[in-house]
Amino acid sequence: MRPMTPTAASERTHLVFDRALVRRRLARAAWLGAEPFLLERAAEDMADRLAAVKRRFETAVDLGTPTDAVARALAGHAAVGHLMRAAPLAAGAPDVVADEEALPFAPGTLDLVVSALSLQMANDLPGVLAQVRRTLRPDGLFLAALLGGSSLTELRQAFAIAESETTGGISPRVAPFADVRDLGALLQRAGFALPVTDVDRVVVRYSSPFTLFSDLRRMGAANALAERRRVPLRRATLLRAAEVYAERFADPDGKVRATFEIVFLSGWAPHESQQKPLRPGSARMRLAEALGAKEVPLPPSGDERD
């Protein structure tokens, strides 16, 4: 099956992100010097999770991770054989230059696909998951980390208040992030077996909101929404956002909090060896017997009980 091009994907999907701008933001972050702490945290967690899987994945792809954090964390890992990096920026020296929404890998050719803090910027995440599922061999594993629901909630609130006060309206400033339950449903929809999602909630403290703004630029996480306001951010709006942030989200020592919710996803390409749920009615023991309880029948329909 030929991979879907970004243009074809955009014809079917509402564009939330300006993907060309996402790439420019990442390039600027690399030029400024990427801020790695979230990526390194996610990469180390992925390495730990793979260590708990008692098998080896000979052919693996690191999909879209903005830096080599995952590649470094998995270098020499007992569970991983040959790992290729696939990312949209040639400047990051990936093995394959590829957009996450148009995978160039043939169906059934990979044993493992990992991705860290990239896929939250996909316009067609269900399509990406479906493509990843097709590239995996039976019993292949997909493991990803992406920013979820409550990430940067403080910044979202501060900008909404500041912009309404200084401009009389609100424009999108912080990306919408998917809820962990929705992400679990998307794994199932894409055809993954044994889907699992869980959350690592990270609260980071900064000396000021402006330090947070700087970190976000160095993460490539500045505003890349397709429906963003196309005029420069007013200085008055920025200063008021910083004031609101400090007023509402500062600790007693004056430092401000920023929430990052890292959602981890995992799912397997179906294989006959995997555990499967029992068919309804196939249990060999009644629940009451298993619990050692006496089974009491319900009263006939229409009766009332005091």
192: DSSP letter:
-
pLDDT at 230 over 50: yes
- Name the residue among 45, 58, 73, 103 with its Cα closest to residue 264: 45
- Name the residue among 227, 220, 224, 230 with its Cα closest to residue 19: 224
Instruction: Name the pTM for this structure.
Output: 0.81
d(CA 162, CA 177): 21
Do 6 and 19 form a contact (C-beta atoms < 8 A)?
A: yes
Q: CA dist 158 to 199, 209, 212, 220, 241, Å?
A: 24, 10, 13, 20, 5
Question: Could you tell me what percent of the chain has a pLDDT over 70?
Answer: 83
The confidence score (pLDDT) of residue 240 equals 95
pLDDT in tens, 53-97: 989 999 999 999 999 999 999 999 999 999 999 988 765 678 898
3-state secondary structure 3-69: CCCHHHHHHHCCCCECHHHHHHHHHHHHHHCCCCHHHHHHHHHHHHHHHCCCCCEEEEEEECCCCCH
pLDDT in tens, 131-186: 999 999 999 999 999 999 889 999 999 999 998 898 877 777 777 788 888 999 99
The confidence score (pLDDT) of residue 222 equals 80
